[in-house]
A and B are shown apart, each in its own frame.
Chain A
Amino acid sequence: MSAGAENDRAARIVVVSDIHATFDGDPFTNVAQSKAMDAKNNALSGAREYLANEIRTADVVICPGDLVHEGVVKPMSWVWAELHGIADDLDSVLIASAGNHDMLLKPTGSKKPHSALRDLDPRFPHDDTGCVATYWAHAFAIVESEQWRVVTVNSSSYLGFFNESEADRGRMDPKCLPELATQLGKADKAPPINICLCHHHPQEWTDDSDEVTNHMLEGDRLIDFLEDRMERWMIIHGHKHRPRLDYLGGSSSGPIRLASGSVGADLLGESGTDVRNQMHVIDFIPPDPMRGLLLAGRIRTVEWEPGVGWVDPGGTAPLPAATGFGYRRDGMDLAGWLFAEAQSLDQRAWTWDQIVAAEPRCEFLTDQDRLEFFDGARRLGGGAQESLREVTFTW
């Protein structure tokens, strides 16, 4: 994975999610503090080495939660220090969100569910007093610069308190939305890149079974809230361990959603071999309203190979090594456009480079939308070689 195109980059965000660290190598994790020095067998140490050597620079490092596995406190300080190390190496800031595994589910004595996070130094979820206060008081915090804004939402804020069943899911505290609206409204001018960070997925996702409803309850309100705003948003969450890139909401201005892969969870048995440990680097381009690209860019993904390190993903990975996002167009419509273009130029075969030259926004199609585009070409009697990204029509 190269550092990506630099000349049209407005901001870069690195996503390091679901680390699930233990101290001595629980079989359910690829991150053991005791192997901190072994970058080929410790996915977090490996991530730090990889990002420093290959990515080199970023604006924000994001961690959507689950720093540790099942509430084990011991490795949490080390994980937090490593995340700060990654951010320092990339000359960026670190912003996190609390995951369900980071909360103490059986608080005793003077400990609260989130005491381990509250005890961290530098402070969690971002080393700023105002942030810390609003995050624990209102279940969200805002960190922003001229180019970007990250709202970190605490979808684990109900865990460990009065109702044990809250441990099985996340929850969007609806009371925080008016406050969030107020806070967002205070800015003179919204930055072009807006990220909503949380741990749980904001709507039900039942790919495993209909019993898996551990999403963020009332997350639909968050989606509606973001969809209704003038600026475009991307939601980045963890928890599922299954990477996914799509659009939420009911309109073309709904938030883009990146469900991040997990850095450390041992996925064998949980998801079989079709899901790998992945992390992502998002490069946002400057907004281009005249071309409908208000929030668009490219996502690079790498996957963890134990004993080797972070490598480009193979064909089975849920997210490919490179994909775009932000250009929303029906695949059939796009195929129809290309078919007409092909006929007018009497050119049946189109490489991906030729397609992008004819319509540069195609670079910002998601991988899924690109496949829809290929299917559209097939419906028109054409063919597509998906790995080559080549489309051929016949007439």
Chain B
Amino acid sequence: MVSDPTSGFGGHRNARSKTVEEVADGFVAPPQYWEIAQPGNTVLAGPRGSGKTTLLKMLQGPALERWDDPLNDRARGLVTYSGILIPADRSWAGQVNSYGDQIEDPDLRKDFGKACFTLHVLRALSACAQQRVSEPPDGARPHDRVSLDPGGQERIVRDVWRTWALTEPVGSFAGLQEALSTLLANFGNLARRSRRHPQAVDELSAHPALDLDLVDITVPFIERFNNAVGQEEHVWAFLIDEVEFLPQGVHVEFRRTMRGRDPRIIQKISLAPYTLVSEELRGTALDGWEGHDVEVVDLTFPEKEDGYEFSRDLIEKEIEERGFTATELLGGPGFFEMPPGRDAYENGSRNATAIKELAEKDESFSAWLAKHKIDPQNPAAVEGDDRAQTLRKAMPIILLRNEYLHLVRGRLGPRTRKSPRTYVGELTTYAICENNPRRLQTFASRLLSRASGDSISDADRFNVLTQVVDEYKLHLRALEVDEGAPDDLLPSQLVETIGKHFQDGVLGEKFDPEPALSFEVMTKAIEGTVLRQILSQLIHYGAVVLITPSRFRLAHTFAPKYTLPVRKGRGHSLKTILPDRLPDEEQMIVGEETSE
């Protein structure tokens, strides 16, 4: 189980606590939205702040009725189903777990968790049905609304309330919702009592809610509803947020139960990305689905450039009332970006200047140039594949070494930059924020609050960036880890160790054109260890990014802190970085070193 530092970095922006209207008002559709909105089973995987909850909420009718955007019609064309949001987040899952902890019998505890979840799903289904038959807000263009008189509601509800473990008749969809809330409250009380009163255990064991089969009880409701409103084949989509926080075993069973049983039911679930890391967790998360009709959508941007357009739209939405453009707020494209339309290595260019300056102070770089027959006075002479394999690959390292190293009494040493230009700029900001909405919005709002009048300086940008990065790292301390975790493996310290290791490769004594910037570990080899747990936490938090199931990198968010380029780089075995913390088995190491 991973922790929930909701009060952590940018936590107030979590869509979980926002109404559908608030979410729709601030929504900018990332490219993945159009995949997710397709009418089929979908798994959304992304770290905290990547917009999982927002995207699921934007698959509901009221959200589309509210969303004021030129792309609204395209979204309505895809969302032809009724989205039922099930807030299966850690708040209620924690509640269920705490009730469940009162139950000693493990089988009963599991059944209790499953029953609680089923009742939550039924309540969400009732709420969705109620919303569909009610009038849209004033002025809103209806989406997915239908006409059904109270008598029609009563007839549907009359046929199902007994099978939903309710003890007294109900006459409307709203009534169903309230009755289920009451049932859930009573159910929780019964679980709490069961530790003190043996008869409460018997009562709980015999409770009809434990016998509920989600498909068996939802299909008749959906069928009756569809028939009553003349939409016999209408599809209902269960939107389940953060499914990994459901009580143990519940989500696997839920998916197994639901999969393929009725074409009128689909599922869209969100997962933390760490579940894709290991066979163990992957099995739990996707068990019963792989090989079937399910689309897995990654909410991160493995190629950072793919997210720039979305990031720009998001920032401009965030700042639209302040009269800034994204470029005005964040500065030019950024230090690592080459202006188009000219040779980036021609004499006088920033690259050519950096090559020349570094060659004058860095002997190991000069040697590397000589080895590749590159004249530091004329780097533009290197062309085509030769340039791609040498200068272009090494250029970010050349820029950083030239910026952060200088000669002190004949020796190359680190140089402190009070206001470095390296990490400011629009595109660089998007990369550093990993195109993550919460990080971007947090950064933009902090920067705006700092802006005096209508101008923002690079010094402001760098200071805010430093503050945000420090704060982001500070929140690593809020991640929950086993009490026995050694200090050097605690999340913040682990990031520090890895970051410093990579920094040594970039700014070390010997020039390395392609230093390690990612690490590799066979997660199977660390299954069940504290390291695996902490790695999972870091991935879920977004501090570590999954490249492949066995290869990872630090988030670019840490680039300014450890003077790293915003790129994946070569892979190092994690054992090289943490020699004492990994088992000795050679087979756990995927390869000594892997090139990007």
Contact = CB atoms under 8 A, between A and B. Distances in A.
Interface in B168-193: 168-172, 174-175, 178-179, 182
Contacts of A391: 171
A350 B171 contact: yes
Given A348-B154, A348-B158, A349-B154, A392 B171 contact: yes
B172 A390 contact: yes
Interface string A361-391: 0000000000000000010011111111011
Closest 10 CB pairs of A and B: A349-B171, A383-B168, A392-B171, A349-B154, A385-B178, A383-B169, A392-B169, A394-B169, A385-B175, A390-B175
- Most A CB contacts (10 A, CB to CB) among B150, B171, B174 go to B171
B175 A382 contact: no
B179 A382 contact: no
22 contacts: A347-B154, A348-B169, A349-B150, A349-B170, A349-B175, A351-B172, A383-B166, A383-B169, A383-B170, A383-B175, A385-B174, A385-B175, A385-B178, A385-B179, A388-B178, A390-B170, A390-B172, A390-B175, A391-B171, A392-B154, A392-B168, A393-B169
Contacts of A347: 151, 154
B170 A392 contact: yes
Contact of B171 (A348, A378, A381, A387): A348
Contacts of A385: 170, 174-175, 178-179, 182
Contacts of B178: 385-388, 390
B174 A388 contact: yes
A394 to B, nearest CB: 4
A394 B158 contact: yes
A350 B150 CA distance: 9
Contacts of B182: 385
- Most A CB contacts (10 A, CB to CB) among B158, B167, B168 go to B168
Contact of B175 (A381, A392, A393): A392
Contact of B172 (A349, A384, A393): A349
Nearest to A390: B175
Contacts of A382: 168-169
B565 to A, nearest CB: 49
Contacts of A378: 168
A26 to B, nearest CB: 34
Nearest to B167: A383
- Most A CB contacts (10 A, CB to CB) among B151, B169, B182 go to B169
A390 B130 CA distance: 15
Contacts of A348: 154, 158, 169, 171
A382 B179 CA distance: 13
A388 B172 CA distance: 10
A94 to B, nearest CB: 42
A393 B153 CA distance: 14
- Most B CB contacts (10 A, CB to CB) among A381, A386, A390 go to A390
Interface residues of A, number: 19
A383 B151 CA distance: 17
B35 to A, nearest CB: 39
Contacts of B158: 348, 394
Given A390-B170, A392-B175, 9 more contacts: A348-B171, A349-B172, A349-B175, A378-B168, A385-B175, A388-B172, A388-B174, A388-B175, A388-B178
A392 B168 CA distance: 8
Nearest to B166: A383
A385 B150 CA distance: 16
A383 B158 CA distance: 11
B533 to A, nearest CB: 38
A348 B171 CA distance: 7
A394 B175 CA distance: 14
A378 B169 CA distance: 9
Nearest to A394: B169
Contacts of A351: 150, 172
Given A348-B154, A348-B158, A390 B168 contact: no
Contacts of B172: 349, 351, 388, 390
A368 to B, nearest CB: 19
A191 to B, nearest CB: 42
Nearest to B181: A387
Contact of B179 (A349, A383, A393): A383
Interface string A340-370: 0000000111110000000000000000000
Nearest to B176: A385
A288 to B, nearest CB: 30
A55 B579 CA distance: 73
B175 to A, nearest CB: 5
A350 B151 CA distance: 10
A264 to B, nearest CB: 33
A393 B171 CA distance: 8
Nearest to A391: B171
- Most B CB contacts (10 A, CB to CB) among A347, A350, A385 go to A385
B138 to A, nearest CB: 20
Interface string B138-159: 0000000000001101100110
B109 to A, nearest CB: 29
A350 B170 CA distance: 10
B169 A390 contact: no
Nearest to A354: B150
A378 B150 CA distance: 21
B169 to A, nearest CB: 4
Contacts of A383: 166-171, 175, 179
A143 B537 CA distance: 72
A270 B158 CA distance: 45
B224 to A, nearest CB: 15
A387 B182 CA distance: 10
Contacts of B167: 383
A299 B257 CA distance: 50
Nearest to B151: A347
A385 B182 CA distance: 9
A351 B150 CA distance: 10
Interface in A267-292: none
A383 B175 CA distance: 10
Contacts of B157: 349
A266 to B, nearest CB: 29
A216 to B, nearest CB: 38
A393 B172 CA distance: 12
Contacts of B151: 347
A351 B173 CA distance: 12
Nearest to A381: B169
A347 B179 CA distance: 20
Contacts of B175: 349, 383, 385, 388, 390, 392
A381 B168 CA distance: 7
Nearest to A383: B168
Contacts of A394: 158, 169
A384 B167 CA distance: 11
Contacts of A350: 171
Interface string A55-66: 000000000000
Contacts of A387: 178
Interface in B420-439: none
A351 B154 CA distance: 11
Contacts of B166: 383
Nearest to B171: A349
A383 B170 CA distance: 6
A385 to B, nearest CB: 4
A382 B166 CA distance: 12
Contacts of B171: 348-350, 383, 390-392
B23 to A, nearest CB: 25
B454 to A, nearest CB: 36
